[in-house]
Structure 1
């Protein structure tokens, strides 16, 4: 994960609920608290002392409302302990490289169900289109672009992406043009770019976030199905969990084809269209920043990054913060 240029000070309450100082995460409708630099109740609008993320986290038509809607619309999400079973095993410190999990992370997965859902099948077809070594030039064949277009068509037709598109349009972030929005998603996620200014064409948002890359260590790799597939193929060794969160978020430590990841976070069981929809909304609304909201009863924060040396918005990274 990239280092944030924004310093956040965290207060961990005795209840175990994480509150972000200067943010409305976990504070919606709290009474006036003069020890805080900003407020998160309906009076803050009148007194002009709302936290910067008040409208996103707590307001009507907020990101929280959208996130709950997206969660409920994710009809292709797999069911924990029914469609898949995981084994957390030992907890590890992200700064220490040791294996505290002798068994795989995934005990089982209903692969028949996965292979019966179009978006999963198309997602899997994209995973071998990329060269994971950062710094090695890449290109995509016409067949691979065809696979991307088929996947994008499926994602665009999904309820979660349709709702995300509607929300972004209604809040003035994109025009009411589905074809134009599809091209924006293609640019954000699939058009190749250099990860460093003047470097070779080597990466894309999809490759970094959902497939994974490596140089001296693993970079990106924030998708549960890719994790399962690589572990099942014997290419990934799960070493233990660093942190967990809700709804169904894990931060894991692992070795992938000889490269180490100290903390890789991802949602568990969510569909590819859900991940792309949620990350796209956050990237468009809050590029290079933390996107905070309430979803399915839990406070969630998503960090997104843009490739700054390239014109327009391209996903450099996107992941849930734990």
Structure 2
């Protein structure tokens, strides 16, 4: 078996990076210890997290080649899907996952096409937030935000705050065509030839199962060859005929964990783009959150190092 690299040492992420990031010296980055402690606490509280090798199995197969942004052609180095098995019973019976999945078909895929939210979809959004707010992960995140003066203790007020951040529509390409939830968790297309966002492992699995998505292979250096027990991957895929050269998301983590993480960073900062460096579960990573007015424009993790090794 090939030696484990900095990319393969984390036990909780699949990194599907939104762009190809240059190597960074993690040691030169300032660690946010307060958020590191908090996010590790949230990680331990995430009882709904799926377990690799038990709740899902991946098959990484071949190494994908270089594809430029906007190109719709990529050689396929994976003859089988990435996910060879997922415990769908858990996805359907764990409330946050099941309600999360109901939201994935509520959006127009192309930016520039106005979104129309029905009463039923508003209800689905609220039911999802109710489920998230009932988890220990989001309860702890809420207490932290209240302690810092970023949110009020009243749950109804906090829920409205979450709705604005994640579900309020905004203009991305000339019409009210997007929102934070759609971009981060569902994925969008832009300019007719690019995949934007798409940072969620459940959406990846479901789109792959529906044959809308074709996994093309992992992206890593020659000595970073992953295997099916590894939980950190760089990878390439096509979605509805468009290619994502390299993409980014947590894998196995619950929707409430991801939403809590990004919400905390969003509310704790007023900059248009915020990057924090944290240590979570022996991984050092950057978490990037970009603001779009009062809502999230995008959010994703970027792995810097694992087990004190650098990329």
Unpaired stretches in structure 1, ≥5 consecutive residues: 12-18, 26-55
Aligned to 1:255: 238
Structure 2 CA distance, aligned partners of 1:94 and 1:270?
Answer: 28
Checking the alignment, whether the CA contact within 8 Å between 1:254 and 1:262 is kept in structure 2 is yes
Distance 1:289 1:93, change over 3 A: farther
User: Would you say 1:211 and 2:208 are equivalent positions?
Assistant: no
Distance 1:294 1:149, change over 3 A: same
Distance 1:67 1:93, change over 3 A: farther
Question: Number of paired residues?
Answer: 271
2:110 pairs with one of 123, 133, 152: 133
Checking the alignment, whether the CA contact within 8 Å between 1:211 and 1:221 is kept in structure 2 is yes
Larger Rg: 1
Unpaired stretches in structure 2, ≥5 consecutive residues: 1-16, 69-73, 304-311
Aligned 1:126-165 pairs, distance under 5 A: 126-165=103-142
Report the CA distance between 1:169 and its aligned residue.
1.8
User: Would you say 1:200 and 2:175 are equivalent positions?
Assistant: yes
Aligned 1:48-197 pairs, distance under 5 A: 56=32, 58=33, 62-93=34-65, 95=67, 97-196=74-173
Distance 1:86 1:180, change over 3 A: same
Report the CA distance between 1:240 and its aligned residue.
1.4
- Greater RCO structure (CA 8 Å; 6+ sep): 2
Checking the alignment, whether the CA contact within 8 Å between 1:250 and 1:268 is kept in structure 2 is no
Distance 1:2 1:269, change over 3 A: closer
Report the CA distance between 1:249 and its aligned residue.
4.0
What TM-score comes out, normalization by structure 2 length?
0.81
1:24 pairs with one of 24, 30, 36: 30
Distance 1:20 1:131, change over 3 A: farther
Q: Secondary structure at the match of 1:78?
A: coil
Deviations 1:98-132 (A, max 9, x none): 32222110010111121111111111111111011
**RMSD of aligned alpha carbons:** 2.3
Distance 1:8 1:101, change over 3 A: closer
Q: Secondary structure at the match of 2:105?
A: helix
Distance 1:230 1:3, change over 3 A: closer
Checking the alignment, whether the CA contact within 8 Å between 2:187 and 2:195 is kept in structure 1 is yes
1:318 pairs with one of 299, 307, 311: 299
Structure 2 CA distance, aligned partners of 1:81 and 1:278?
Answer: 25
Aligned to 2:7: none
User: Would you say 1:296 and 2:281 are equivalent positions?
Assistant: yes
